[in-house]
Amino acid sequence: MASQNTIGFIGTGVMGSSMAGHLLRAGYPVQVYNRTKEKAMPLVDQGATWQARIGDLAAQSDIVITIVGFPQDVEAIYFGNDGVLANARSGATLIDMTTSRPDLATEIARQASEKGIEALDAPVSGGDVGAREARLSIMVGATESAFNRVRPIFDLMGTNVVRQGPPGAGQHTKVCNQIAIAAGMLSVCESMIYARESGLDPYSVLKSIESGAAGSWSLSNLAPRMLKGDFAPGFYVKHFIKDMGIAIDSARRMGLELPGLNLAEKLYQRLAAAGKENNGTQGLFWLYEQGLQKSETSTQTH
């Protein structure tokens, strides 16, 4: 893909700012929009062009990438008179990298197709570190031709880029990812609190278990943050709760019962109710330290 293609990037938060930065450094002209303008200014300082309206950004971009917080944010960005779909050029490519609803992804793709536009859903995993180091896992729902056309852009942001199927498939894959993380985070928290309470050095325990069968990204990367009391967000609790809600809703539609996911969602809701919704997902460890999980988990046995 020629570097002169202009990319419009909507959503310059914890992850989006790093992702857009990689595109800038690769030589792409990048236009940016964010609800809070100040969060986009570091990219403008690096050479990006600020756009005050979504419609203007869409009209002047060959490729529009969005990564925002919630499905309702995606709807607000894509639909309406000043939205992406109403203003994007014929022949443009739209890439939503938000973790959102599979049915919303397929609806965006359907409406885009009617306008001669291709839309891809490409949610990511890897958190702030993965975004900063361009090591994201990118799960793509798209036609094969659209995927191949924008693959060079994905490769600038991630190292594990997989087309999972047609539009919507990327979001379904991200649901699988979040389900695995949800129950896994409970296990990491429980392992570390047990290590501490049994009198072991949790850091020493990590050295023994992270490279064995218990190993996971969360254990290696988030357990050390937990133990230090570093709950700064790589991925917000409030966004993870949103993701688990999408997963629970999708599972319910398929008639699936996922008790591990349901328990994790309840505990994270409890964490948010304690005023910790803007912490990182590793902040669940705080709940274990406070013993606040006991009253919640005890209800699961009745």
Which active-site residues does the annotation give? 174
Task: Record the tokens describing residue 279, joined without a space.
Answer: 């912490």
Q: Is 83 helix (H, G, I), strand (E, B) or coil?
A: coil
Q: How far is CA 125 from CA 35, 49, 139, 194, 278, in A?
A: 23, 27, 8, 28, 18
What does the chain come to in residues? 302
C-alpha 164/C-alpha 173 separation (Å) is: 7
Question: How far does CA 181 lie from the centroid of its chain?
Answer: 12
Helix (H) or strand (E) holding 272: none
Per the DSSP assignment, residues forming a β-bridge with 141 are 121, 165
